[in-house]
Amino acid sequence: MLDLLDGLLPPEPAQETIGDGAMLLRGAALPYEAALLVALDRITTRSPFRHMVTPGGFRMSVAMTNCGAAGWVTDRTGYRYDAIDPETGLPWPLMPDCFLDLAITAASQAGYPAFRPDACLVNRYEPGARLSLHQDRNEHDFAHPIVSVSLGLPATFLFGGLTRGDPVTRFALRHGDVVVWGGPSRLRYHGVAELKEGTHELLGHRRINLTFRKALA
Ligand SMILES: O=C(O)CCC(=O)C(=O)O
Ligand SMILES: [Mn+2]
């Protein structure tokens, strides 16, 4: 069905402004694909994916790990950035060069040439997993944008406003897409709808999301 529509639909723009200070860069991670997957294996060997618990006691459906100087964690005591992986007692794996290069290049394309991330939260979604609407607000300084890379199964990104009740726009994110939000959009609510069943040729029954932040001062 989609094939039939291919010639009829207008082509998707390679870059789309999705808000004031927010851009969707279609396929921007594709040149890094092979390197990202090798690096991802190294990270998850040292700091495996785990389902964290929210301060309210709920197990998250998304499994997470981190790399970089600081990793985002949640447990019964709250949300925080921590230099140590609480599961291994070791520092998080270093941020691989290909991760840094992609994040800096994408941020620059979106108008944030000074962005230098020190944290990368790695999210693994399996069919049925979802991330409810939230703001990214555990970082020290909101002057820095968020850079979010999608790999594997497609997902629906929910992009809301500055208050929880604001209308939400839905964007289909596919393997290789990158979303950058900063400036006036930095604290917009966002989330991911329940992942649908499917098989991706490289990642199987999974979607991996890399969320780059400048977390520390
Ligand atoms: O998976 C995504 O696309 C978004 C992830 C996210 O918002 C987060 O990790 O804070
Ligand atoms: Mn987020």
Intervals of the chain under pLDDT 50:
none
Asked whether residue 61 is assigned to any structural domain, the reply reads yes
Name the residue with tokens 């402004």.
17
Instruction: Tell me if 75 is assigned to some domain.
Output: yes
* 71 part of a folded domain: yes
Q: Is the CB of 124 under 6 A from ligand 1?
A: no
Domain of residue 128 covers: 19-213
Residue to substitute in 65, 147, 192 for testing ligand 1 pocket (most ligand atoms within 8 angstroms of CB): 192
The pLDDT value given to residue 8: 81
pLDDT 10s digits, 133-183: 999 999 999 999 999 999 999 999 999 999 999 999 999 999 999 999 999
pLDDT at 6: 66
Q: What is the DSSP letter of 8?
A: T
Backbone phi and psi for residue 25, each to the nearest 5 degrees, phi listed first: -105, 100
Q: Is 66's C-beta closer than 6 angstroms to any atom of ligand 1?
A: no
Q: How far apart are CA 152 and CA 179, in angstroms?
A: 15
Q: Is the CB of 136 under 6 A from ligand 1?
A: yes
Residue 12's pLDDT is what?
84
Model pLDDT, residue 10: 78
How far apart are the CA of 13 and the centre of ligand 2, in A?
Answer: 24
At residue 24, the 3 state secondary structure works out as strand
Position 64 in a domain: yes
Nearest CA, atom 8, ligand 1: 211
110: helix, strand or coil: coil
- Residue 48: count of CB within 10 angstroms of its CB: 12
Cα–Cα distance for residue pair 141/135, rounded to 1 Å: 14
**Tell me, what's the pLDDT at 209?**
99
pTM summary value: 0.96
Q: What share of the chain is helix, strand, coil (3-state, %, to 5)?
A: 20, 35, 50
Structural tokens at position 141: 């300084």
Ligand 1: which residue has its CA nearest to atom 9? 211
Please report the pLDDT score of residue 48 as a whole number: 99
* Secondary element (H or E) of residue 39: helix 33-46
Predicted pLDDT of residue 9: 79
3-class DSSP assignment, residue 40: helix
Q: Which of 24, 54, 135, 148 is the pocket-test mutation for ligand 1 (most atoms within 8 Å of CB)?
A: 148
CA 9 to chain CA centroid, Å, is 28
Residue with tokens 């991996």: 208
Task: Give, as one character, the DSSP assignment of residue 127.
Answer: T
Q: What is the CATH number of the domain that holds 206?
A: 2.60.120.590
Q: Report the domain count for the chain.
A: 1
Which ligand 1 atom is at minimum distance from the Cα of 191? 7
